[in-house]
Amino acid sequence: MNAKKTTTKARPATTKQSGRMPRREDIPGISPDLADEANWQEAARALRVRPFYTGPGAVPFSRLRARLVPDPTKGNRPANDFYLDG
């Protein structure tokens, strides 16, 4: 008899306020029509932003901000960069 193999999918992290995963457009200061200097989700992990980082010292997503910076790899055209507010 062949047993049917079942898999469980990891449930994505969500924000407490909305019950959904944050999106790029949810970051204050972001220019959606411009490229990101870094992958915003990787930037959130590096800045220890929940739900992308869940270890000690994690900060809420509401502190993640974006600003325009010149991207020297693309002729100094502006790109989004990320930082923590406060």
- For the cut 90, the answer to whether the pLDDT of residue 19 exceeds it is no
Residue type (1 letter), 42: E
The model's confidence at residue 18, banded by pLDDT at 50, 70 and 90, is low
Is the pLDDT reported for residue 39 higher than 60?
yes
- What b/e string do you get for 19-43 counting C-beta neighbours within 10 Å, with b at 16 or more? eeebeeeebeebeeeeebbeebeeb
- What's the pLDDT at 8? 44
Token pair belonging to 16: 């407490």
